[in-house]
């Protein structure tokens, strides 16, 4: 039986206006179409200010009560980078035998990450899978906007040299521990 699966790349555990706008975008798409399963992917990225709240848990707390239909939500809390988001969700989906040409995957992200997610989705989920990327825009910090093209090139290079992804993950984890 074909299933429609959503994958939300989370960005912060803070329930601020920016995140609420993003989560509302996801909710509108979920309520417009039907998803059988919704992966919420994001780790514990606020080591000092919110050490016990993952991005996935914060998104779930906001999204779940606003969905009009029953959706099986799966939290993935070990991600610190976009690479982690897709790699970890793909691993969970494979374990659950969800990666099949019968199933379709819709990925949600910031517009600046759309190209990267399209490429990583094919890399981790395979070419035989129906993949759609839904993106929305919100203003990010200058450093994020300037660095995003460089990060995208680095992540795409990591498909050939996985140590690049590991290095970026260590950098992000160190950065998040201080936040």
pLDDT at 146 over 70: no
Residue 175 tokens, joined: 């950065």
H-state helical runs in the chain: 17-32, 55-63, 82-95, 114-125, 142-157, 163-177
Torsion sign over Cα 29, 73, 92, 14:
positive
Q: What is the pLDDT of residue 88?
A: 98
Query: How confident is the prediction for the chain on average, in pLDDT?
Result: 89
Per-residue pLDDT band at 136 (split at 50, 70, 90) = confident
Distance CA 96, CA 135 (A): 26
The percent of residues in the chain predicted with pLDDT above 90, rounded, is 64
Q: What is the pLDDT of residue 142?
A: 53
- Domains in the chain, CATH or no CATH each: 4-177 (3.40.50)
* Matching residue, tokens 């090139």: 153
pLDDT at 102 over 90: yes
Q: What is the pLDDT of residue 149?
A: 67
Q: Nearest CA to 56 among 48, 66, 46?
A: 46
Q: What is the pLDDT of residue 104?
A: 96
Q: What is the pLDDT of residue 166?
A: 81
> Taking the model in full, what pTM does it have?
0.88
* Angle at the Cα of 92 from the Cα atoms of 86 and 93, rounded to 5 degrees: 85
Mean pLDDT on 144-151: 65
Q: What is the CA radius of gyration of the chain?
A: 15
pLDDT at 6 over 60: yes
């Amino acid at each position: 039986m074909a299933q429609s699966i959503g994958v939300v790349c989370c960005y912060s555990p803070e329930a601020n206006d920016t995140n609420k706008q993003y989560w509302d975008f996801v909710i509108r798409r979920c309520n417009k179409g039907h998803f059988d399963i919704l992966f919420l992917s994001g780790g514990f990225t606020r080591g000092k200010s919110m050490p016990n709240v993952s991005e996935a848990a914060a998104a779930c707390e906001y999204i779940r009560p606003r969905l009009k239909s029953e959706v099986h939500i799966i939290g993935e809390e070990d991600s610190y980078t976009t690479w982690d988001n897709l790699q970890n969700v793909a691993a969970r989906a494979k374990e659950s035998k969800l990666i099949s040409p019968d199933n379709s995957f819709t990925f949600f992200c910031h517009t600046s990450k759309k190209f990267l997610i399209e490429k990583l989705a094919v890399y981790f989920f395979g070419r035989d899978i129906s993949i759609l990327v839904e993106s929305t825009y919100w203003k990010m910090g200058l450093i994020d906007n300037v660095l995003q093209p460089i990060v995208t090139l680095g992540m795409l290079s990591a498909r050939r040299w996985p140590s690049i992804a590991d290095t970026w993950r260590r950098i992000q984890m160190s950065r998040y521990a201080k936040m």
